[in-house]
Amino acid sequence: MEYKDYYAIMGVARDATQDEIKRSYRKLARKYHPDVSKEPDAEARFKEVGEAYEVLKDPEKRAAYDQLGKQWKPGQEFRPPPDWDAGFEFRGGGYTAGDAGAYSDFFEELFGRGFAGAGGTQGRRTFRMRGEDHHAKVLIDLEDSFSGATRSISLRVPELTGDGHVTTRERTLSVRIPKGIRPGQLIRLAGQGAPGLGGAEPGDLYLEVEFHVHPLYRVDGADIYLDLPVAPWEAALGANIKVPTPAGNIDLKIPANSRQGRKLRLKGRGLTGKQPGDLYAVLQVSLPPADSDAARTLYKQMQDQLGFNPRAAMGVA
Amino acid sequence: MDKKDPSTPAVELIDEETTFTLAELCRCCDVEAELIEALVEHGILEPAGRQGRYWCFSASSLRRTRITLHLQRDLGVNLAGAALALDLLERIDELDARLRALSR
């Protein structure tokens, strides 16, 4: 088990006041909130900050944590000394059993199972209640939406043990990704949420689908955009060229006199589904380098014979 | 379909045409109907129509409700603040998409 430096995580000194800790927590919670933040590891940081605050906001837990001493380094292998919590009477303020999966082993060892009655899940419930619905995210590739795919996802599930304690269990599901799925859509797995109480039916599991960034394609709703490089003469004279699509290469006719940035629509070549999207090839005119005498001669010829002024609209030559 | 294997459960795609009844939305987000009513009053949710006497909602309502709940719980944001945050988040998503399109 690794030691966690809650003061460093919270960005405050060890002698910070409760107000300073609260202010720092609010700031960090806004910065790393998973629904708002664009930071890459927002969710992990948010949990870490929440855990640190759970300890530091409670004077009693903070005092117990302080008693472990300052000699520990973050990440250092840690075992709590015997009787480290003697003299403290944990009341579990704010810590609820339902959050168990969110905390680190370090926290669990110090403040989790140790103090009796935390969160108040004692006793066996005798009523029937449908299990909670669970929510998670899953990242897939664009290609997975075309061909359908199976993704293996791991979930940490809090579980109530026979004596009323909470543990977490890793559960792996193999999930079929339906063809034609789009970013932001949900998949429902009936009965895969939390187990029901007293023999009632379990809840459902909802997976929100997002796509990995693709090197070639950009997805907008059901439509797919592709930047398609073309030679100046292909754009000017028209051409039949091969274009990659997620479903394989297809032939595309470039009309003569196409401009840079022209969008060519390939109807029905976007994401599949009840209402298939379109694929847009966005022409990117690519200039051949003038790195040989032959190339320079050709450019010179165009300069002399075309009389082309790209800045005519600006009134300058 | 291999329904017997417990590790590969049946899946159901929830697309734009899927609607949730008020009761389903409440169950899915673990909230009371009063809260959903308040979200409608604040313009956070827009009912997609009615089923009998009750509202029904589009699939995107699920996400908006959950974000609102998280903002309330984690940051102490009230409903007016959550409505503003959701609008701004949507705008940021649009701008991000445009920025990605431009910076390729």
DSSP assignment of A27-86: HHHHHH-TTT---TTHHHHHHHHHHHHHHHTSHHHHHHHHHT-S---TT-B--PPTTTTT
Count of structural domains, chain A: 3
pLDDT for residue A158: 66
Is B7 a member of any domain? no
Work out the average pLDDT over B13-29.
88
Question: Do A67 and A24 belong together in one domain?
Answer: yes
For residue A255, the model assigns a pLDDT of 97
Name every chain A residue with its beta carbon within 8 A of the beta carbon of B70. 33-35
Tell me if B4 is assigned to some domain.
no
Q: Can you give the pLDDT at residue A166?
A: 67
Distance from CA of B35 to the nearest CA of A (A): 18
Say if the Cβ atoms of A186 and B8 lie within 8 Å.
Answer: no
pLDDT given at position B1: 43
In this prediction, residue A148 carries a pLDDT of: 86
Is there a single domain that holds both residue A187 and residue A147? yes
Max Cα–Cα distance, chain A, nearest Å: 94
Question: Does residue A205 lie within any of the structural domains?
Answer: yes
CA A273 to chain CA centroid, Å, is 24
For A152, other C-beta atoms within 10 Å of its C-beta total 10
Strands (E), chain A: 134-140, 149-160, 166-177, 186-189, 205-211, 217-220, 223-230, 239-243, 250-254, 263-266, 279-285
Q: A225 contacts in B (CB within 8 Å)?
A: 101
The answer to whether residue A249 is domain-embedded is yes
| Contact call for A190 and B62, based on CB within 8 A | no
Q: Does A181 touch chain B (CB under 8 A)?
A: yes
Report the number of distinct structural domains present in chain B. Answer: 1
Q: What is the pLDDT of residue A172?
A: 85
CATH number assigned to the domain comprising residue B96: 1.10.1660.10
pLDDT < 70 positions in chain A: 82-102, 112-127, 157-160, 164-166
In a domain, A129, yes or no: no
Question: Is residue A206 assigned to a domain?
Answer: yes
Residue B53 lies in a domain: yes
Regarding whether A43 and A107 lie in a shared domain, the answer is yes
Look at residue B2 and tell me if it is in a domain: no
CB contact under 8 A, B11 and A178: yes
A150: closest CA among B102, B60, B89, B1? B1
pLDDT of residue A77: 74
Task: Give long-range contacts, CB 8 A cutoff, 24+ apart: A290-293.
Answer: none
A226 shares a domain with A206: no
Chain B residue nearest residue A133, CA to CA: B28
For residue A206, the domain's CATH number is 2.60.260.20
Q: Which of residues A156, A179, A211 is at a domain's end?
A: A211
Q: Does A94 touch chain B (CB under 8 A)?
A: no
Residue A317 lies in a domain: no
Residue A160 is predicted with a pLDDT of: 67
Pair A107, A169 in one domain: no
Q: Is residue A126 part of a domain?
A: no
Give the model's pLDDT for residue A33: 93
Q: What is the CATH number of the domain that holds A35?
A: 1.10.287.110
Which CA distances in Å does B52 have to A67, B18, B26, B56, B59?
62, 17, 17, 10, 19
Question: B81 in a domain, yes or no?
Answer: yes
| A255: region left, alpha or beta (phi > 0 left; psi from -120 to 50 alpha) | beta
Q: Return the pLDDT at A119.
A: 40
Query: What ipTM was assigned to the predicted interfaces of this complex?
Result: 0.77
> Does the predicted TM-score (pTM) go above 0.90?
no
Residue A241 maps to a domain:
yes
Judgement on whether residues A206 and A221 belong to the same structural domain of the protein: no
pLDDT of residue B57: 94
| Domain hosting residue B31, numbered range | 19-102
Does a structural domain hold residue B96? yes
pLDDT tens-digit map of A138-172: 889 999 998 888 888 887 766 667 776 667 777 88
Q: Which residues, 6 or more positions from A267, have their beta carbon under 8 angstroms from its beta carbon? A: A278
B contacts of A177 (beta carbons < 8 Å): 11
Indicate if A13 and A106 belong to the same structural domain.
Answer: yes
Q: Do A218 and B13 touch (CB under 8 A)?
A: no
Q: Are residues A206 and A224 in the same domain?
A: no
How confident is the model at residue A89, as a pLDDT? 55
In-domain check, residue A229:
yes
- Residue that terminates a domain, selected from A120, A146, A165: A120
Examine residue B13 and state whether it is found in any structural domain, yes or no: no
Nearest-by-Cβ selection for A187 from B14, B71, B104: B14
A233 lies in which domain range?
217-306
Is A99 found in the same domain as A18?
Answer: yes
Q: A215 and B32 in contact (C-beta within 8 Å)?
A: no
- State residue A6's pLDDT score: 93
A133 touches chain B (CB under 8 A): yes
Which chain B residues are closer than 8 Å to A35 by Cβ?
67, 70-71, 89
Are A276 and A200 within one domain?
Answer: no
In the DSSP assignment, the letter for residue A124 is -
Q: Do B89 and A36 touch (CB under 8 A)?
A: yes
Which of A211, A241, A269 is the last residue before a domain boundary?
A211
Are A109 and A53 members of one domain? yes
Residue A85, pLDDT score: 66
Same domain, A81 and A183: no
Collect all residues of chain B within an 8 Å Cβ-Cβ radius of residue A133.
Answer: 27-30
Q: 3-state class of A253 per DSSP?
A: strand
Distance from CA of A13 to the nearest CA of B (A): 23
Q: Is B84 within the bounds of a domain?
A: yes
